[in-house]
Amino acid sequence: MSDGAVSDGSAAASPARGGLLGGLFDRGGSPAGDGAWLQAMLDTEAALARALERAGLAADGAGAAVTAEAVAGRFDAAELGRRAVHTGNPVPPLVRALTAAVPGWAASAVHHGATSQDILDTAAMLVARDSLDAVLADLATAAAAAAGLAAAHRDTIMIGRTLLQQAVPVTFGLVAAGWLTAIDEARQGLARIRGERLAVQFGGAAGTLAALGEAGPRVAALLADELGLARPALPWHTDRLRILELASALAGAAAVLGKIARDVTLLAQSEVAEVREGGAGGGSSAMPHKRNPIAAVVLLGCTRRVPGLLATLAAAAEQEHQRAAGAWHAEWEPLADLLRLTGSASSWAAELLAGLKVDAGRMRATLDAAGDFPMAGRFAALLTPALGPVAAHDLIAAASAEAAAGGQPLGAALKSGAAARSLAAAGITAGQIDAALDPVGYLGAAAAFTEAALAAHREHEPRLRP
């Protein structure tokens, strides 16, 4: 039997869609399924009918009549998909179905002046807006949890690791502060997209709105007003920068969350055991003794798929003339997946950080077990004024080799033999050796950096809250 994770269901604390993998990758409040996209398309058509009525281009009451019928549950998404093979996208069959559903006197208000791309692109903006709201809410929770960890463990000392090897002492508070700052920066990027770059698409067949004559710009403005989206200077049918900026901001957030999850998986390894996930889940189907870091693992399962989706959207951004032949079509599923997976990752991250358990004693024990070697650089620097840089380096290198060969701490090697004689000649006492090898005195600006991250979080938080 494979080492598949089983859980008690606690990971489903926030909403998740159905299906075999829905609880893993469709987690959180980000709309991901066909129903959300279909409703967004219908919302766009209904808003257009209302805009046309406001502009005097549709009968009184037409907007309300179309809006009343524009309910996703009244349409068969699968049937629309089957019919889409005849038109290359699902909008034409949807327009036919919606037109048939509204009263005859209001039918002319359906889709008037629009083209399929107007409806789908605007629907993408609506789905993105709802998705970003959900992502930002979960990231706010994750940021608050990271801030709590940074404050609580400002002085919790641990070994720092570079290139996956033990390096010099740090604090877990500084580690959590790094997570916090990255999350907040990702939130800032997403909030900018949410507030500035989600715009209505309305250009008609080739971006001129010729079917509406001089009324085109006014209808476009009214449509933007109806939907609460930005009104661009002109249609952006083949200018895909908005899509690419959205995708890049989502990918940035996913990268931040993936880094946190990777740190947790490394710190939670059995041989390290400096942190662990909270909750009762995390078992194995084959090994009952195991406690797997499920939230971190599934979060990584989400974020590992993001770079490829971003690459596809970047490749699709080059589009021909006034309407693309295939590149636009290539965007739909990658964008939907990117929204869904980033939303899921954000939800997992909120749970992961809120429940993370930190073993400060284990962190200190790991640092102590390093046998003073992480302090070798500091001790060499302290010796340099007395011995010179070369002699100081050589003395510490020889003492380190002796200590490693004898399985003893560096301090013990420095207090015996040739090293002890050289240090005594330089006027360095055993007490000074112990003080120089104390990791608490070699944390540099860790506390100041942690407090700076917390202060920045407190300053920006009111503006970042969704």
Length of the chain counted residue by residue: 466
| Exposed/middle/buried for residue 287 (C-beta within 10 Å: 0-12, 13-18, 19+) | exposed
Residue of 161, 305, 323, 364 marked catalytic = 323
CA dihedral over 225, 227, 232, 233, signed as positive or negative? negative
Verify whether residue 323 is a known catalytic residue.
yes
What does residue 283 show for φ and ψ, rounded to 5 degrees?
-80, 175
Q: In 7-115, where does DSSP find H-type helix?
A: 22-25, 34-54, 62-69, 77-83, 91-101
The answer to whether 194 and 136 are in contact (CB under 8 A) is: yes
**Two tokens at 120?**
């789908």
The answer to whether 86 and 116 are in contact (CB under 8 A) is: no
The letter for the amino acid at 31 is P
For 296, residues 6+ apart whose C-beta sits below 8 A from its C-beta are 260, 261, 262, 264, 265, 268, 277, 348, 352
CA distances to 145, 299, 319, 366 from 356, in Å: 9, 14, 46, 19
Q: How many CA atoms lie within 13 A of 328 on its CB side?
A: 20
| Exposed/middle/buried for residue 201 (C-beta within 10 Å: 0-12, 13-18, 19+) | buried
- Between CA 5 and CA 283 the distance in angstroms is 6
Verify whether residue 421 is a known catalytic residue.
no
> Residue 61, Cα to own-chain centre: how many angstroms?
43
Q: How many CA atoms lie within 13 A of 267 on its CB side?
A: 25
Residue of 96, 284, 305, 362 marked catalytic = 284
**Two tokens at 387?**
């011995």
**Two tokens at 308?**
């490829």
Active site residues: 284, 323
